[in-house]
């Protein structure tokens, strides 16, 4: 799976962001 979500900045501009699994 490659999940991507749209994030919105202060100006309301959406940006796709790909998340990786992260390990602590």
Partner 1 sequence: EWIKFAAACREGEDNSKRNPIAKVRSDCEETQPIVYRITGQGIDESPIGVFIINSRTGEINITKIVDRELTPVFVILCHAENAATGLAVEKPLELRVRVLDVNDNIPIFSQTIYEGAIEEGGMENTLVMKLVATDADEPNNLNSKIAYKIESQEPAGAPMFILNKQNGELHIANILDREQHSSFSLIVKATDRDGGSDGISSQCTCGVKVIDVNDNFPTLGQSSYSASISENTLSSEMFRIQAIDADEEFTDNWKAVFFFISGNEGGFFDIVTDPATNQGIVRCIKKLDYEQMQSVPLSIGVRNVAAFHHSVSSQYQVIEGPAFSPSSISFSASESLTKQSISTYIVGTYQAIDMDTGRPATNVRYIMGRDPDALFIINPNNAEIRFTKIIDRESHYVINGVYTAEVLAISRDFPQRTSTGTILLTIQDANDNCPLVTNEIRKVCMNTPSVVIIAKDLDADPHGPPFKFVIVSQPRNHLWDIRYVNVCQTPFLHRHGWGWGRVRVCHVDHAHTSRGASASLSLPDQSETESGTKLFFKMHYLLFLSPLVIPILMSRSDCCGNCLGAGTKHGVGAGFETVPECTEGNIHSWGIEGAQPEDRVNIYTNTYGGGGMVTSGGVEEITGLGTVKGYGTAGGYGTAAGYGTTGRKESIGGTIKEYREGGVNMAFLDSYFSEKAFAYADEDEGRPANDCLLIYDHEGLDSPVGSIGCCSFIGDDLDDTYLDTLGPKFKTLAEICLGREIEPIPDVNLPWPTTVVTENTYTTGSTLQPAMPIPDPVLQGNVIVTETYTTSGSPLKPPTRNVDPLYSPNVVVTERVVAPASVTGLHGMLEIPDLPDGSNVVVTERVIAPSSRIPPSLSIPDLADASNVVVTERVIRPASGLQSNFGIP
- Contact footprint for partner 1 (CB under 8 A): 1-8, 14, 19-24
Specify the residue, 6 or 10, whose C-beta has the smaller distance to partner 1: 6
Closest distance to partner 1 from the beta carbon of 24 (Å)? 6
Torsion of CA 4, 8, 9, 11, to 10 degrees: 140
Kindly state the smallest distance separating residue 10's Cβ from partner 1, in Å. Answer: 14
Q: Closest distance between partner 1 and the C-beta of residue 20, in Å? A: 6
* DSSP secondary structure letter of residue 16: E
The three-state secondary structure class of 18 is strand
């Amino acid at each position: 799976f490659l999940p991507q979500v749209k994030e919105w900045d202060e100006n309301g501009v959406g940006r796709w962001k790909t998340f990786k699994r992260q390990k602590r």
